[in-house]
Amino acid sequence: PDSAKQGSCSSPESNLPSPVKQEQAKAGTLVDLNAKILSEDWDDIPPSSALEEISEEEAVRIIGEPLLPLQSTTLRDYVDHSETLAKLVHLGVDLSQVEKRQKAGQLLLTLDFEKDIRKILLFLKDVGVEDNQLGPFLTKNPYILGEDLEALETRVAYLKSKKFGKSEIAQMVSRAPYLLLFSVERLDNRLGFFKNELGLSVKKTKDLVIRLPRLLTGRLEPVKENLQVCQIELGFQRNEIQQIAYKTPKILTASKKRLRQTFDYLHNIMGIPHHMLTRFPQVFNSKLLRIRERHMFLAFLGRAQYDPAQPSYISLDQLVSLPDEVFCTEIAKASIQDFENFLKTL
């Protein structure tokens, strides 16, 4: 009360012990010093701007990680980010062709090489697909990489049960890459179709599909239509169609227009009877232009003789299969120059 009356009031700090006063003095000094340093540091850092120019050296030091595209129309954009795609490219798979196949690109992006693909590659090698053919095979049929391995093995076992040899299965799978995508039931139905439709024995049916395995994977409608064309429009008997199809399986999948045009020229222009066409059905695989040019040259020379009962007989096989030089010298009895000069007059 006395001090209050005298107008003097001592501060709380004045009542503190001396050591505490010293510590507070130090703390105050440190706070002031730190504030000063912090202020000086911020003053030295210029404000940042997205439009600020940087030197070339600074630009080189900036390493940007490429981002995986969320959406793309080509697998090429994913190769650098996908070990699976990179290894498939190394195998020889043409990704530019794969991405043209429906949903094939999406399938590859979901697969792991070690977990999903390696076992399929080992399976294909065991079936008989050569190492240098794995890339082309997968380019044509990438979908097999998403198939269940056990299902694939079951289909191969079915072919073996039908007495197809290992080398024959390898040949069929290599020439018809989609073959192993077909279930056992579908494969069995296809074999039964050709056996019954053509009236072939089991052995001849096997031989037919070994030579043209895509008969087992292609659509059956064109085959049915070609059989009708041969019988109804071209006038072949059922046993003749059987012989033609067995000797030349490609006729079953040939263009109907081409089949009609070739038959018309051979039968109606050249006068070849049905039984001769049945003996040499490979003539239907030849280009019509080749047949026409050679027949006209022989007719010009007076040597167009296709009746085996007559002298100077020329078989249809000789007409279409020999190289130009051999055809001219041995069949037409003329020079290649004579043939070329004749063609210029057509």
pLDDT in tens, 180-198: 999 999 999 999 999 999 9
Tell me the CA end-to-end span of the chain in Å, nearest whole number.
Answer: 141
Average pLDDT over residues 73-101: 81
pLDDT tier at 14, thresholds 50, 70, 90: very low
- 246 vs 58 pLDDT, higher one: 246
Task: Give, in order, the Cα–Cα distances in Å from 183 to each of 151, 154, 188.
Answer: 8, 9, 9
Confidence of residue 117 (pLDDT cuts 50, 70, 90): very high
pTM beyond cutoff 0.75: no
pLDDT at 84: 84
Q: What distance in Å separates the CA atoms of residue 249 and residue 3, rounded to the nearest whole number?
A: 128
Determine contact, residues 137/124, Cβ cutoff 8 Å: yes
- Report residue 33's pLDDT band, with 50, 70 and 90 as the boundaries: very low
Q: Region 106-121: what's the mean pLDDT?
A: 93
The separation between CA 214 and the C-alpha centre of its own chain, rounded to angstroms, equals 15
More confident residue, 52 or 64: 52
Most confident of 44-58, 98-112, 209-223: 209-223
C-beta separation of 215 from 197 below 8 A = no
pLDDT of residue 187: 96
Residue in this structure with the two tokens 């003329």, named with its chain if needed: 334
Q: Are 13 and 21 in contact (CB under 8 A)?
A: yes
**3 state DSSP class of 304:** coil
Q: Residue 13 has what pLDDT?
A: 43
| Whole-Å CA distances, 224 to 21, 135, 151, 166, 258 | 111, 34, 30, 30, 16
Per-residue tokens: 14: 């004045």
Tokens of 155: 């289909």
**Rounded to whole angstroms, what are the CA distances from 269 to 264, 272, 295, 308, 314?**
7, 8, 10, 18, 16
Model confidence band, residue 82 (pLDDT cutoffs 50, 70, 90):
confident
Q: Can you read off the two tokens belonging to residue 190? A: 């296809």
